[in-house]
């Protein structure tokens, strides 16, 4: 039994509302609106139309009396709850129409209330209830029209032709088919809307991850250089003021560059549709990276030349080398590193080696740095291998495809 019905009494949730796709926000149910205007218009139409039908069928069917008007008003008035209690309403309107027909009152727009209730039930997902109510009305009509008419008003009534029954059946099938078509189209629309929302969330997550990688790579490298130079400046402040001045100059240059790159990343957050003010870094700035590493006390030897690269691949390659050299500065006792660039026409191969030994528990770098390198390579369809060498030290090897249109240009 529905838990909500147990706690608060009243009909269970499935009786009152449609399927989960009718909800706007997760499990929070949307409060259905009260269709006052359409219900009043339908009630007036049914009453007026039934009076006109009674005039046209005078002498053939029983005249409208107070009981007939109550049945018509009750069947139409139930439609006010069709969005909240669709199952109850579809069976209620079908029962009212069955009693109306059984009493011999004129044929007319009384069937419209059942059609609207059936449509609402199917659209909100209660297909079996709608079909069951229509079947109940159809069975009641057949029972009255072809058997009980002898004992029910009006006197002298005869059974309708089977051709007339086929016309009625065609109308029933058309109403059910239209309701099913609307239900399928609404389900498709809600599914597409959910897929668009999911795609938007995925793009936002990917953008946040990209920005987080950029900030990590920029800050980790620059702060490592600043940290090393600050230590040198403090150690030489009294004994060698000129060397301390050089260290402070390096700190100023590294912090200025870091601020510029951070500002560029933050600008993409403020105006995501605008083009960046400065080009993204690439392997063309590798000499600057080597110079910055040298200012931190690390000698870097570069061999090989990179081929022409797409902007996204060029940025990823630069950041991988930058992170690898930063990890050497922070986590290795070696003061020398080797960067090798190679390609075979289809892939760019990067290799960064140091001779160690590791100076802390995070040999080779922190988890975030290595994870960021792997994410950059995976985004382009490449791979990253990082780990200790057999002869000591640490190695980072990256393989990036050259035929990738880099998502492109990192979007």
pLDDT tens track of the chain, all 411 residues? Answer: 444 444 444 444 444 444 444 444 444 445 567 888 888 998 899 899 888 988 888 777 788 888 989 999 998 899 999 888 999 999 999 899 888 888 888 888 888 888 888 888 888 888 888 888 888 887 777 777 667 656 666 655 666 666 666 776 777 777 777 777 877 888 888 888 888 888 888 887 877 777 777 777 767 767 777 777 777 777 777 777 877 777 777 777 777 777 777 776 666 665 555 545 556 788 888 888 888 788 777 889 999 988 888 888 888 898 898 888 888 887 888 889 999 999 888 899 999 999 878 775 555 555 567 887 888 888 888 999 988 888 888 999 999 998 754 444 444
pLDDT at res. 88: 92
Q: Is residue 233 part of a domain?
A: yes
- Tell me, what CATH number does 255's domain have? 3.30.565.10
pLDDT at res. 25: 42
Q: Kindly report whether the global pTM for this prediction surpasses the value 0.75.
A: no
Q: Is residue 319 part of a domain?
A: yes
Q: Is residue 308 part of a domain?
A: yes
Distance CA 153, CA 214 (A): 85
Count of structural domains, the chain: 2
pLDDT at res. 151: 64
Query: Hey, is 327 helix, strand or coil?
Result: helix
**Beta carbons within 10 angstroms of residue 142's beta carbon:** 14
Helix 86-102 to helix 127-146 angle (10° resolution) is 10
- Give the total residue count for the chain: 411
Are residues 171 and 258 both part of a single domain? no
Decide: residue 205, CB within 10 A, 0-12 exposed, 13-18 middle, 19+ buried.
exposed
Are residues 170 and 205 both part of a single domain? no
Of 141, 165, 197, which one is at a domain's C-terminal end?
Answer: 197
pLDDT at res. 6: 43
Are residues 260 and 217 both part of a single domain? yes
Asked if omega into 52 is within 30° of 0 (cis), the reply is no
Q: What are residue 340's phi and psi, to 5 degrees?
A: -120, 130
Q: Is residue 39 part of a domain?
A: yes
Helix 162-236 to helix 367-379 angle (10° resolution) is 130
Of 168, 197, 226, which one is at a domain's C-terminal end?
Answer: 197
Domain housing 314: 198-401
Are residues 143 and 206 both part of a single domain? no
The 8-class DSSP code of residue 106 comes to P
Of 175, 197, 219, which one is at a domain's C-terminal end?
Answer: 197
Are residues 168 and 35 both part of a single domain? yes
Q: With beta carbons less than 8 A apart as the criterion, state whether 376 and 319 touch.
A: yes
pLDDT at res. 397: 92
Are residues 216 and 193 both part of a single domain? no
Distance CA 307, CA 324 (A): 20
Q: With beta carbons less than 8 A apart as the criterion, state whether 158 and 149 touch.
A: yes
Q: Is residue 409 part of a domain?
A: no
Pull the structure tokens for residue 270: 């403020």
Pull the structure tokens for residue 385: 């291998």
**Beta carbons within 10 angstroms of residue 266's beta carbon:** 11
Are residues 349 and 379 both part of a single domain? yes
For residue 126, which of 97, 80, 90 has the smallest C-alpha distance?
90
Q: How far is CA 71 from CA 50, 61, 66, 89, in A?
A: 11, 16, 9, 14
Q: Is residue 324 part of a domain?
A: yes
Q: What are all long-range contacts of 61-64, with beta carbons under 8 Å and residues at least 24 apart?
A: 61/104, 61/105, 61/106, 61/107, 61/154, 61/157, 62/103, 62/104, 62/105, 62/106, 62/153, 62/154, 64/105, 64/106
């Amino acid at each position: 039994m529905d838990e909500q019905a147990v706690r608060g009494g009243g009909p269970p949730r499935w009786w009152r509302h449609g399927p989960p796709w009718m909800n706007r926000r997760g499990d929070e149910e949307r409060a259905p609106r009260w269709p006052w205007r359409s219900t009043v218009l339908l009630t007036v139409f049914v009453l007026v139309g039934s009076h006109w039908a009674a005039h046209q069928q005078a002498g053939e069917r029983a005249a409208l009396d107070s009981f007939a008007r109550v049945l018509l008003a009750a069947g139409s008035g139930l439609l006010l709850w069709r969005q909240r209690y669709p199952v109850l309403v579809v069976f209620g309107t079908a029962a009212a129409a069955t009693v109306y027909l059984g009493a011999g009152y004129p044929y007319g727009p009384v069937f419209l209330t059942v059609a609207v209730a059936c449509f609402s039930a199917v659209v909100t997902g209660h297909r079996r209830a709608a079909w069951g109510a229509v079947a109940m009305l159809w069975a009641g009509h057949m029972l009255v029209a072809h058997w009980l008419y002898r004992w029910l008003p009006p006197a002298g009534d005869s059974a309708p032709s089977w051709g007339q029954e086929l016309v009625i059946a065609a109308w029933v099938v058309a109403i059910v088919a239209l309701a099913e078509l609307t239900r399928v189209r609404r389900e498709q629309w809600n599914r597409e809307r959910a897929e668009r929302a999911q795609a938007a969330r995925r793009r936002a997550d990917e953008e946040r991850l990209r920005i987080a990688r950029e900030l990590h790579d920029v800050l980790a490298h620059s702060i490592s250089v600043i940290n090393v130079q600050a230590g040198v400046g403090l150690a030489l402040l009294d004994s060698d003021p000129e060397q301390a001045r050089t260290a402070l100059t390096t700190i100023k240059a590294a912090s200025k560059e870091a601020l510029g790159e951070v500002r560029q990343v933050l600008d993409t957050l403020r105006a995501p549709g605008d083009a960046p003010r400065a080009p993204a870094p690439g392997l063309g700035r590798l000499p600057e990276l080597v110079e910055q590493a040298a200012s931190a006390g690390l000698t870097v030897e570069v061999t090989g030349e990179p081929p022409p690269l797409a902007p996204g691949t060029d940025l990823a390659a630069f950041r991988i080398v930058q992170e690898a050299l930063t990890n050497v500065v922070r986590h290795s006792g070696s003061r020398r590193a080797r960067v090798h660039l190679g390609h075979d026409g289809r892939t760019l191969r990067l290799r960064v080696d140091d001779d160690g030994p590791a100076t802390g528990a995070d040999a080779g770098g922190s988890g975030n740095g290595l994870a960021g390198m792997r994410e950059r390579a995976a985004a382009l369809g490449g791979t990253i291998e990082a780990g200790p060498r057999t002869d000591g030290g640490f190695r980072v090897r990256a393989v990036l495809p050259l035929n990738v249109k880099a998502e492109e240009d990192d979007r």
